[in-house]
Amino acid sequence: MTIEHPEAILCPGGPMLLRGNHAIEDPDGLAHGTTRPVSAVCRCLKSASLPWCDGTHKVLPAELRPS
């Protein structure tokens, strides 16, 4: 079976992209609902806008980026 539009995509070295409505829990345990058709969830934990990716992963050394 082929999924043409997966709901979650892990970007190597970057965020997880989520399609549709989801609830994301931040490091403090607070739930955040997605509000966009596609949302980028931070996986490096260095974003100033956790739980969302703000692009900070792009300036991290390779060893600190998520795999």
- How far apart, in whole angstroms, are the C-alpha atoms of residue 11 and residue 56? 14
Q: Does 42 bind ligand FES (CB under 6 A)?
A: yes
* Among 28, 46, 51, 61, interactor with ligand FES by CB under 6 A: 46
- Output 1 or 61, the one with its CB closest to ligand FES: 61
- Output 23 or 59, the one with its CB closest to ligand FES: 59
Q: Pull the structure tokens for residue 36.
A: 């966009």
CA 30 to chain centre: 16
Q: Does 18 bind ligand FES (CB under 6 A)?
A: no
- Output 2 or 35, the one with its CB closest to ligand FES: 35
**Close Cβ partners of 6 (under 8 Å, ≥ 6 residues apart):** 19
